[in-house]
Chain A
Amino acid sequence: MVTSWEWGVSNIKSQGAASEILKNIPLLLGGIFLIYLAAVDETLFAAITMGNLHNRILVIIATTLAAGVPMFFAVGLFKKSVLVGQETIYYYEELLKRKSFWISTIVLLAIITFLVLLQGRASTIQGIVAVVGSVSLSIYLVIYIRKM
Chain B
Amino acid sequence: MNEDLKRKLQVLIGLIILLIAMIASYFSVVEGGGFTKYDVFLAIDVSGSMDDPTKLGAAKIAAIEFLNIVTSNQTIDFRVGLITFESQVELVCPLTRDVSPLKSGIDQLIADGGTAMGEAIKLAGNLLIQEQMPGVGKAIIVLTDGITTVGIEPIPATNDLSGNDIVVYTIGYGWDADTYTLKSVASISHGEYFFASTGQELIDVFSTIASLLISPIAHYGSRTLILIALPVLLFLPMIEKGVTTIIEAASTTILGRPPRKQKATEVRGEGMRTVARPAPTVAIERKILCQKCEHMNRQTATFCAKCGFTLEQKLQVTFCGKCGHKNRISAKFCSKCGNKLGMGGQ
Contact = CB atoms under 8 A, between A and B. Distances in A.
Do these two chains really belong together in a complex?
yes
Interface of A: 35, 38-39, 45, 51, 53-54, 56-57, 59-60, 62-64, 66-68, 71-72, 75, 79-80, 83-93, 120-121, 123-126
8 contacts: A53-B212, A59-B216, A63-B25, A64-B18, A71-B227, A85-B270, A120-B193, A126-B187
Contacts of A86: 235, 238, 270
Interface residues on B, range: 35 or more
B184 interface: yes
A125 B208 CA distance: 25
Interface in B13-50: 14, 18, 21-22, 25-26, 29
Given A39-B227, A68-B230, A71-B231, A89 B215 contact: no
A38 B230 CA distance: 11
Contact of A53 (B187, B193, B216, B241): B216
Interface in B211-259: 211-212, 215-217, 219, 222-224, 226-227, 230-231, 233-238, 241
For chain A, what secondary structure do more than half of its interface residues adopt (helix, strand, loop), or is it mixed?
A: helix
Given A60-B26, A84-B270, 10 more contacts: A53-B216, A63-B222, A68-B18, A71-B226, A71-B227, A71-B231, A86-B235, A89-B10, A90-B10, A90-B237
B138 interface: no
B328 to A, nearest CB: 41
Contact of A67 (B10, B226, B268, B272): B226
Contacts of B224: 39
A75 B187 contact: no
A67 B223 contact: yes
B184 A87 contact: no
Contacts of A88: 234-238
Nearest to A71: B230
**Leading 3 A-B pairs by shortest Cβ distance:** A53-B215, A67-B226, A84-B270
